[in-house]
Amino acid sequence: MSWAGPGFIVAIIAISTLGWVFTSWIRARHGYPLEGEWGGTVDRSNPGADRKIELLSNENGQLKDQIGRLEERIAVLERIATDRTGRLSDEIDALR
């Protein structure tokens, strides 16, 4: 194989192009921004992403509130279950 021939130059260009295509494919597949023609970056465009984030944030807030209420109820149940002095049972009997 001659190192000075045109086949070697074409092989280097082909390898470089295939490497660029492969790395761009990997970056696009995993959500990384791609490089544009002049060195800028091109992000994935997903028009529903902002709406989805807003809905998930609202749901997250609702779930946090629900967990807070459940923790309060569990604390009351633990207090009832671990009442050793009988003070709570005396209060319940007094209410009857």
Residue 50 and residue 40 share a domain: no
Which domain does 17 fall in, by range? 1-45
Q: Is the separation of the CB atoms in 22 and 29 below 8 Å?
A: no
Over the chain (96 residues), the average pLDDT of each successive run of 10 is 78 93 85 70 71 92 97 90 75 82
Report DSSP state, residue 42.
Answer: E
Residue 96 and residue 53 share a domain: yes
The distance from CA 92 to its chain's CA centroid, rounded to whole angstroms, is 48
The predicted structure's pLDDT at residue 43: 66
Residue 55 and residue 14 share a domain: no
pTM of the model: 0.43
The distance from CA 2 to its chain's CA centroid, rounded to whole angstroms, is 53
Residue 24 and residue 60 share a domain: no
Alpha-carbon distance 66 to 95, whole Å? 30
